[in-house]
Homo-oligomer: A and B are copies of this chain.
Amino acid sequence: MGGRVRVVVAGATGYSGRELIRIVLSHRAWELVGAFSSRVEEGRAAAGARERSLSEVHPELSGLTRMVCQPFDEAVLAALDPGLIFLATPNEFSHEVVPSLLASGATVVDLSGAYRLRESALYPSYYGFEHVHPEPLSQAVYGMTELVRDQLPGAKLIANPGCYPTSIILAVAPLLEAGLVELSQPIICDSKSGVTGAGKAATSTTHFVEVNESFRAYNLFRHRHTPEIAQGLGIALESGQLIFTPHLLPINRGILSTIYLKLRPGIGRADLVARWEATYRDSPLVRLFPETQLPEIKFVAGQPYCDLGATVDARSGQAILVTAIDNLLKGAASQAVQNANLALGLPEEEGLR
């Protein structure tokens, strides 16, 4: 086992943490050496113990590991001497611990939003806290893997993208960059997500009966992923050129985004697809769908892909892009692993198929 990278997962009790653990356990070049959570204590009282086994926290993992999940403690973590740390932790928590974790020399992949926005002034209004670590913020690579593959080798801090932004930026950014889009009309992103996107906290909005057999829009014009999408597309947040509306689907996992944009005169579906093909030629985890079959959530659930499809009305030049990802995988854990693989010199798919 000597040659394997020592890996720690913090935030191990959540859904993304669970997916990370599952992937790390099956990864040939990595070794899971520690799992932490600040929420591990919630389940401890009964047992009076300092820690719970991962298979107690996630019975799905029974038989795969005997590791325990410990209360987060930087000294304990450092003593494990990890080469790679995944943070599937709350925004404020990541914001706080990243600087010292970086100081240890480990590669850090942060799945929270704490190091995603280059403009730190956006944090108070969109995340509710003042960002006080400008240096790591400026160094962080925003890890939309397929679009920043060159920046990843050797990266020490990777800000793993949000789930909704992944489902939008991978589709739209190449088209904007190639100048195919008419920006006089706003780009409208109507996104729908499963409930794991809301996390494991039991609230009235995640109660089964409040979600099941229903559907709703939320956070219109003010979801915190809006500035992240704008940044990823190179659109000024104040320009009015981007509208993003998230909705909650009564399913466990998956995001489907229906994206409306106008193509520039003379541009058709073939041009659009050609641009995607050029961008993703060597990207095994982006799949382009034919005109006859649009992406659906069931095709990506439990899988590390981002699926892209498009329909264009030739007469009006209006295009509808339909994209799908698993919010816990390409929208969180598997993209984090793609990024870590590339940061550490491995093929990006290692451990993912």
Contact = CB atoms under 8 A, between A and B. Distances in A.
Nearest to A294: B217
Given A62-B299, A63-B287, A209-B195, A256 B216 contact: yes
A258 B248 CA distance: 13
A211 B213 CA distance: 13
B254 A315 contact: no
Interface in A174-211: 185-186, 188, 190, 192, 195-196, 200, 202-204, 206-211
A59 B315 contact: no
Contacts of A303: 60
A254 B214 contact: yes
Contact of A318 (B238, B243, B254): B243
Contacts of A250: 208, 212, 249-251
Interface string A228-243: 0000000000101001
Copy tally for this chain in the complex stands at 4
Contacts of A215: 192, 249, 251, 254, 256, 296-297
A-B pairs, top 8 by smallest CB distance, nearest first, are A240-B316, A214-B298, A216-B296, A220-B311, A190-B190, A202-B202, A195-B208, A59-B299
13 contacts: A62-B289, A63-B305, A195-B209, A213-B213, A213-B253, A213-B297, A214-B254, A214-B296, A215-B251, A215-B296, A218-B294, A245-B320, A249-B250
Interface of A: 15, 26, 56, 59-60, 62-64, 185-186, 188, 190, 192, 195-196, 200, 202-204, 206-218, 220-221, 238, 240, 243, 245, 247, 249-254, 256, 258, 260, 284-285, 287, 289, 293-303, 305, 307, 311, 313, 315-316, 318, 320, 322, 353
Given A214-B254, A240-B316, 11 more contacts: A26-B353, A63-B284, A63-B305, A195-B208, A196-B209, A206-B208, A206-B209, A213-B254, A214-B251, A214-B296, A221-B320
